[in-house]
Amino acid sequence: MASFLRKNRPLLVTLLIVAAVLLWMTNRYEPKVTASILLSGLTLGALYFLVASGLSLIFGLMDVLNFAHGTLFMIGAYIGFTAYANPRLILNTLPFALALLGGAQAGRWLGGLLPARFKQRWQDSSFLVLTFLLALALLFIGVRGFNLEKLVAATATATGGVVATDLAQEAAGRFLPRIILLAVSGLFLGLGLSRVGTAEVRQRPRWTSAGVGLILVAAAFALIPIRTPGEVFLLSVSSNVRFVLALVIGLLAGAGLGALIESSLIRPLYGRVYYQLLLTLGLSYVGGELVKSVWGTVGFYMDIPAFFGGSGDNCPSPNLWSWFSDHCQSINVLGRPFPSYRLFIIALGLAMFIAIALLLQRTRLGIIIRAGVQDSEMVQALGINVRRVFTLVFAIGCGLAAVGGVAAAPFLGVNLGLGLEVQLQGFIAVVIGGMGNYVGSAVGALLVGLARAFGDQLVLSGIHLPWMDGVVRMSPSIARASTVLIMALVLLLRPAGLFGKKD
């Protein structure tokens, strides 16, 4: 019993604190108000967890503090909104990405043949510079004059009003040369990248790379004639299907961006903490400017899918069981309606927590990740490609943040300031739980979410002190500062965090 208490002391202390606060709230507020505060806190905690879990995984394995994590959360929200409400933007830009990536894959395969055929007539540095310059030149020519602003203008909130699809997108005759130029640009890029690496890798070109590259380029060309029919079809399906599609696309986009950032920018800076901080901080600003250049400065509102937007005489639903038949916008919780979509956010956060926990505890990949956290050099000595594992973990962490952004879009809206606030709370949750501890990030996110919801309620209702007749009103800034105060208190009592371990 003593060993159990010693081992689980942080969790027990956390439960005691939460229980004490709940007891005070029960005496202070009506049960329906207390339930509403708790559910609001769980909603925020679920969103904060999707950010904090990725931060914790990345820091735990790679010792990288990713200050661009909130930006990926925001980008996920914009991409999810685009997939949900404006698929023509994706259908007109996805061919560019496919052509570029497909050309790069084919170029890397072709580059593996060059040393044997040309007997290294080019020095590596000269060849790399030449191919990259050609790739950039062709890329610039390929995207020059492409109008993103009209493609974005598909909703009522767009700057300048709505622009019809036939006026917004380019004709196939002008679009086709762009795809060709980007595919050739990717080919030169792949040729240059093929010179980066060991000689052994260069001498073993794989046909699968060429095959994947050709498939991607073929897919880019195949999308050209179906851009308009594809948009009509996607907008005709139910909002529930489009929302699920938005979650999937957001996950893939976030994971892809994370893998790209880690493999190209973070990897050369391992062990150089200050450079990592400066790089990820700079990426957060670059990401914000990228969003501005594509979607503009005006925010968007993403509708709640129909599955959570029902209305009628039976609404709000009297209980959760009845909600599964009428899908009302809200559910009665102890006599007070609570939005059903927020319950979905809570369920999503719980599902992600269980999925990642099972991945870490029950799979071979999870064993490798946990072993890499303890001793990455030993794992590398066993013949495991730790760098590839690093890239995968970074991609998973960024994918979780992007999914959180998509889920938050109908709740918080889609705007340029979305990522900053969530990232701050995510970092606070990670510090409270213990840097690099996955369970700690979940507990920290829960505490931060509950503190924020409780602080908002205190701001609304005020505090009645026994020696005063009136109610003391507080500034809304107090609610924001409450999470920082909790972090400071935890660090004073336990500098490594609730679940952290001293070095």
pLDDT at 115: 57
Burial of 180 (0-12, 13-18, 19+ CB in 10 A): middle
How far is Cα 24 from Cα 26, in angstroms, rounded to an integer? 5
3-class DSSP state of 165: helix
pLDDT at 463: 65
Q: Which residues pair with 330 in a beta bridge?
A: 339
Q: What angle do CA 141, 144, 145 make, to 5 degrees?
A: 145
pLDDT at 56: 87
Residues of the chain with pLDDT below 70 are 1-11, 13-14, 21, 24-25, 114-125, 156-161, 195-206, 373-374, 461-476, 501-503
pLDDT at 503: 55
pLDDT at 198: 41
Residue labelled with tokens 């159990």 = 4
Q: Give the type of residue at 277.
A: L
Checking 282-289 for CB contacts under 8 A at 24+ apart, the result is 283/67, 283/68, 283/71, 284/67, 284/68, 284/70, 284/71, 284/419, 287/68, 287/71, 287/72, 287/74, 287/75, 288/71, 288/74, 288/416
pLDDT at 244: 95
pLDDT at 200: 39
Residue labelled with tokens 């980008």 = 75
Neighbours of 204 (CB within 10 A): 8
pLDDT at 90: 92
Q: How far is CA 170 from CA 137, 152, 177, 225, 226, in A?
A: 22, 14, 11, 11, 13
How far is Cα 140 from Cα 409, in angstroms, rounded to an integer? 33
User: For 255, how many CA atoms within 13 A lie in the half-sphere containing its CB?
Assistant: 12
- Summarize pLDDT for 165-211 with one digit per residue, the tens: 888 889 998 999 999 999 999 999 888 877 655 433 444 456 777 88
**8 A C-beta contact, residue 32 and residue 413:** no
**8 A C-beta contact, residue 377 and residue 74:** no
Rounded to a whole number of angstroms, the distance between the first and last alpha carbons of the chain is 27
How far is Cα 503 from Cα 501, in angstroms, rounded to an integer? 6
- Summarize pLDDT for 217-231 with one digit per residue, the tens: 999 999 999 999 999
